[in-house]
Amino acid sequence: MRLEAEDVCKTYGATRALDGLSLRVEASRVLVLIGPSGGGKSTLLRVLGGLEPADGGRVRVNDHALAGAAPDALQAYRRRNGFVFQQFNLFPHLTARRNITLPLEKVHGKSPAEAAAVAEGALGRFGLLDHADKLPSQLSGGQQQRVGIARAIAVAPEVLFLDEPTSALDPEMTAEVLELIQELAETGQDIILSTHEMGFARAVADRVAFVAAGRVEEAAPPSELFGAARSPVVRRFLSRVMRY
């Protein structure tokens, strides 16, 4: 995975969520975004995923130029990727199985039989076949998040985007979901994710970017950033969040 963001700006009213942000990644399998809440991680993730247009600057992920791209080009780009958000975003009135088959049929043009076969494989891969016909309300938080990841993976995404995927989970469910994400990374899935789980970021990422005040303060391999960060802002943040 390659990406380049140069002087990227994104404003919501009077708030500059991204303020001239720049980031270059030449070759990475797992890019992890860390930093304080409200620093711009989620906005950057959405811009890189083509879900939000940048107000200025240049954005490229692999061979896809996103800044200023036509709506149909952005739609095609989004269809190539998978997205998982903090609050699961499952359709509450559909079973786990149907949450996967519906977008495969309506967005990706698969027949009901093809979609059912893909869903069966995705649910089986994540240990969810026994829960395939349950509604989201009948599933635990960890199971709901696994369904969300299964739905994203079912389209064979070029890049999987994960926005703080464990923020709504208790510690046991957090571990369950993090193990699943680590398994996906180990099997070759390109991933960009934001997280507050520093131990996970250190173990799984091959590149970590610290995002604060709408900018990338520092980006480096995890051994460098966690072991000997150059920026005093990063060192101060890590000393606080990794104290206990």
Domain contains 12: no
For residue 9, give Cα distances in angstroms to 56, 90, 204, 213, 231. Answer: 5, 30, 29, 12, 22
Same domain for 203 and 244, yes or no, is yes
Asked whether residue 87 carries a pLDDT value surpassing 80, the answer given is: no
What's the confidence (pLDDT) of residue 168?
72
Query: Which residues sit opposite 216 in a β-bridge?
Result: 211
Q: Which of 126, 110, 117 is nearest to 189 (CA)?
A: 126
- Of the three residues 114, 138, 156, the one that is the final residue of a domain is 156
Mean of the per-residue pLDDT values of the chain:
93
Domain contains 211: yes
pLDDT tens by residue, 96-147: 999 999 999 999 999 999 999 999 999 998 889 999 999 999 999 889 988 9
Half-sphere exposure at residue 30, Cβ-oriented, CA atoms within 13 angstroms: 23
Expressed as residue numbers, the domain containing 98 is 91-156
Domain count, the chain: 2
